[in-house]
Structure 1
């Protein structure tokens, strides 16, 4: 019997990881909800995206802090925007690193100056 492989996009995988980290839903419940198999998919995706589940100590600290002060809707909105901007910054840094590496390889292999020299000629 031939097995079918459901290829899950990185966007969906990241969404599943975020849902796993932000809620109390177990990995097996998420497998059923999104209809995918595999024993370590979510853990593998977490390593791929560089995120980890907070330790129990971190959860206790976070819980205590959230009880001390409840954030207003405006604060929660601003925090959400900050997280989004931090994610975008991380992606842009990776993109910049990739482009710089591409330029370095092209300059080395093709022996062509691609980057502009500093200072203006007069």
Structure 2
């Protein structure tokens, strides 16, 4: 019986975020890049997790550790990442969209509560709203 000797000269594959094993460690530079993207607002934790193939809880842990390191380090500046004008504009547009969504949700909630009060007053035949001119006791 003849056994072939396989050569052990297989090519070494560079480990990247897309092909690494789940338990593989990332270098500190990559972690800092991911944390800075999340901190600057360019990516959310979830979006960064999808982009880099990581759980958002891991990215959250890195953010917590990074925040602690910034607080404990005496020679830190603001820790802000330099942004180009287009990145800053993109970030501001994203923030405006978030605020508009929050305002729309608050307005819908207000309308729903007003409707609920009106229905309760009509169905239960009691006044729920406070009269404007009454004194507080």
Same fold (TM over 0.5): no
Which structure's CA Rg is the greater one? 2
Shorter-chain TM-score category?
0.3 to 0.5
TM-score normalised by the chain length of structure 2: 0.35
Bigger helix share = 1
